[in-house]
Structure 1
Amino acid sequence: MTTNPAFELVVRRHGTSVLRMCTALLGPGPDAQDAWSETFLAALRAYPSLPNGANLQAWLITIARHKAIDILRANHPVPTEHFPETVVPPEGLGQLELLESLGSLSELQRKVIGYHYLLGFPYADIPAFLGGSAASLRRAAADGIKALRKLHTDAEETP
């Protein structure tokens, strides 16, 4: 019989994956960090009743997805008279530009890319999280990657 590891080890092993998922859904910044924290707080409460040998990464990613959705719902846009100032991130942050450009993709494309490319789930496992078929999710990811390549190629060609 397999027993679950100490919760501290779970955080060490899967903390990066959970943060990647939160960042893919919410963008880099405090919202993703808050979702990460809320994920592990909820997981800590539920961990003692988790069956031994459960897929911990899938379990944590599901919790992270729910926490990110909660934050998105809490931060829904409110109409205002004036637009707030836009914040320009400092140059030279490398992957930050790529993470920000994920916002131009559809929600499904972002999620599939997050599960497959950031977390390493095979396409056959992703329908358990998102529904649909592995083939349709593979197509969504391919379309998303194509859009990202085009966006970054166009940005590099612009003087």
Structure 2
Amino acid sequence: MSARPFERVVDEHGPMVLRVCRAVVGPADAEDAWSETFLSALKAYPELPADANVEAWLVTIAHRKAIDVLRARARRPVPVDALPEEPSRTGRPEDWDGDLWHALTQLPEKQRTAVAYHYLAGFPYREVAAITGGTADAARRAAADGIKALRLKDLSAAEPEGARP
């Protein structure tokens, strides 16, 4: 059995990977992380075993690319004269919710990534733990704490401070 064309993999998993990237790095850098994820995946795809979990493989790559983006962001100068531009309302997917991003930025990193990988990407806790490091119980606790914190926030009253945390 031959592997599916890579274009089908992108079509099938691209929106989920973009949601994860947006949740982890924010709207300003999400498309860059998404592109880097699929460029790396394209290079490695021919060697991927036929029985591999493609979705988990892509999220693992996206997680590593998101870390790269966050490290690069930390080295960039922060402009203070002007407000950042708002994220495009015509980008992929059309239903981007800036208030949700703002609420996610208020969570500690472990909670934010656990919420993103479990609730946005749909991975079981053992796979979240494999991606982020730690145990399934720790991933479950971080996701539960993150959801609890999000439920306590009034998203309609959130005042976004800009596109970046």
TM bracket (short chain): 0.7 to 0.9
Deviations 1:86-116 (A, max 9, x none): 34749x9872211221111011001100111
Query: Offset at 1:10?
Result: 0.4
RMSD, aligned α-carbons: 2.5
- In the alignment, the residues of structure 1 paired with residue 83 and residue 153 of structure 2 have an alpha-carbon distance, to the nearest angstrom, of 20
Give aligned-pair identity as a percent. 51
Instruction: List structure 1 runs of 4+ shifted beyond 4 angstroms.
Output: 77-80
Relative to structure 1, is the Cα distance of residues 152 and 44 closer, same or farther in structure 2, using a 3 angstrom cutoff? same
Relative to structure 1, is the Cα distance of residues 79 and 94 closer, same or farther in structure 2, using a 3 angstrom cutoff? closer
Corresponding residue for 1:67? 65
Amino acid at match of 1:74: A
* Structure 2 unmatched ranges of 5 or more: 90-94, 159-165
Contact 1:102–1:148, Cα closer than 8 Å, also in 2: yes
Contact 2:103–2:155, Cα closer than 8 Å, also in 1: no
Corresponding residue for 2:163? none
Which one of 82, 85, 91 corresponds to residue 82 of structure 2? 85
Query: Offset at 1:76?
Result: 0.8
Query: Offset at 1:153?
Result: 6.3
SS of match in other structure, 1:125: helix
The reply on whether 1:12 has 2:11 as its aligned counterpart is yes
SS of match in other structure, 2:145: helix
Corresponding residue for 1:130? 132
Amino acid at match of 1:21: V
Query: Offset at 1:66?
Result: 1.0
Corresponding residue for 1:21? 20
Answer 1 or 2: higher relative contact order, Cα 8 Å, separation at least 6: 2
Relative to structure 1, is the Cα distance of residues 84 and 103 closer, same or farther in structure 2, using a 3 angstrom cutoff? farther
Q: How does 1:1-159 map to 2 (within 5 A)?
A: 2-29=1-28, 31-77=29-75, 83-87=80-84, 89=86, 95-152=97-154, 155=157
Amino acid at match of 2:39: L
* Structure 1 unmatched ranges of 5 or more: none
Corresponding residue for 2:92? none
Relative to structure 1, is the Cα distance of residues 94 and 57 closer, same or farther in structure 2, using a 3 angstrom cutoff? closer
